[in-house]
A and B are shown apart, each in its own frame.
Chain A
Amino acid sequence: MSKSKSNYKWGMVIDLDRCTGCSACVVACQAENNVPVVGEERSAEGRMLHWLRIERYWDGEYPHVRARFIPVLCQQCDNAPCEPVCPVYASYQTPEGLNGQVYNRCVGTRYCANNCPWSVRVFNFHEPEWPKPLNDQLNPDVTVRSKGVMEKCTFCIQRINRGKMKAKEEGRLVRDDEIQPACAQTCPPGAIIFGNMADKGSFVFRLSRSSRRFRLLEDLGTEPVVIYLKGGGREGA
């Protein structure tokens, strides 16, 4: 509806040729977004709450074996499978192309996670715990989700909103590179690039047109805005 109205369409490019699998992004995301640590038992149940994970694939057999890393986070699909199944409209498409998750609306049916082909939505099966004074590390700009609520990557919406407010006050649009989600900010080899896809001059847009581009599970037709660039090969960029 109001999609055409917005000046922004947030997107991300992940260059797999740069990604080293170091997991700096995983901790950065956890720190920025108050993602709880669930502990050993819950981890064994597969209930870890990372919004961003590093997928590792083995390819071939010894000695011609390769390992590849793919950071997987919410793909912020344009035709998101998670959205239409929510009975309370807690997951929806924002005007800037994100798959929003409204925690205070969520009633915890988990239909959305069930419908997500990338398994990037995580559910709070338990009340999060921060033994004192560990709660002092929490980011005051991000809600702490409670038990029974689905959560997921927001492209660090708190940073986007702050950047937009600043730009609005100065009467301009957000500059390229002005807003950085925590993962992109910390990535040592610079594999994660975030920006405004509606701006044809932005770095992220130019990268997204690379011949190395592909999207995860592209044939599902969900139109993800996270674009990956293939690694390997002996050719130049």
Chain B
Amino acid sequence: MKHKRIIIISALFFAAASGLLFIYSFEAIFYFTVPVVERSPEQPIAFSHKKHAGKYSINCLYCHRYANISKVAGVPDMELCVSCHRFIARKKPGIKKLIGYWERKEPVPWIKVHDLPDFTYFPHNTHLRAGVYCDSCHGDVTTMDRIERVSRISMRWCLDCHRERDVSIDCLQCHF
């Protein structure tokens, strides 16, 4: 009898462990099988964060100007790009392309790299104010010629950080 119970318990344990393993391995597989093309898609204009944020040390908030006051960080409006590039590096092919968009009054159709599901509420301003700076999620963009997703952006990844910092992990904090 006793033997049987041990078997049952160990079977249950094994089931639980393999379940966990399954979830973890699923995530791992998911992450590593996402090709670089997906994590770092080619953009309509080869904008380099390495140059802007790295070489010229332009503050993130100079372009993503709503990050500390709104839930969205804000994609810089075209006028902002053009306000510099009307004068700077006008001959370069990328800039020519930009000016082309601007003159056609068309927005640049940037490809979204960091995409949260619609049922998740993520306020940028709250995170910045809590000391979670841009690089915590977006990586060190000063080294990226083309922006690349370095975080998993899965719920467990969010929760890990929330737990570490002892902030609310209540579901309704982000899902409503």
Q: Which residues of A contact B (CB under 8 A)?
A: 92, 94-96, 98, 100, 102-105, 141-144, 154, 157-158, 161, 165, 169
Contact = CB atoms under 8 A, between A and B. Distances in A.
A157 B123 contact: no
Contact of B129 (A100, A154, A169): A169
B121 A141 contact: yes
B175 interface: yes
A142 B173 CA distance: 12
A143 B176 contact: yes
Interface string B116-133: 011111010010010000
Contacts of A165: 123, 126
A15 to B, nearest CB: 27
Given A94-B170, A95-B170, A169-B129, A102 B123 contact: no
A161 B129 contact: no
Contacts of B170: 94-96, 100
B176 A157 contact: yes
Given A104-B119, A165-B126, A169-B129, A94 B176 contact: no
Interface in B38-77: none
Contact of B175 (A98, A104, A169): A104
B172 A103 contact: no
Given A143-B118, A158-B176, A102 B126 contact: no
20 contacts: A94-B172, A95-B170, A96-B170, A100-B170, A100-B171, A102-B171, A102-B172, A103-B119, A104-B117, A104-B120, A141-B121, A142-B176, A143-B118, A143-B176, A154-B176, A161-B121, A161-B173, A161-B176, A165-B123, A165-B126
Contacts of A98: 172
A11 B29 CA distance: 45
B175 A143 contact: yes
Contacts of B129: 169
Contacts of A100: 170-172
Interface string B74-109: 000000000000000000000000000000000000
Given A158-B176, A161-B176, A165-B126, A143 B119 contact: yes
A154 B172 CA distance: 9
Contacts of B121: 141, 158, 161
A143 B173 CA distance: 13
A92 B171 contact: yes
Nearest 3 A-B pairs (CB), nearest first? A157-B176, A102-B171, A104-B119
A100 B169 CA distance: 13
Contacts of B168: 95
Nearest to B176: A157
A102 B170 CA distance: 10
Given A94-B171, A95-B168, A161-B173, 16 more contacts: A98-B172, A100-B170, A100-B171, A102-B171, A103-B175, A104-B120, A141-B121, A143-B118, A143-B119, A143-B176, A154-B176, A157-B172, A158-B121, A161-B172, A161-B176, A165-B126
A173 to B, nearest CB: 15
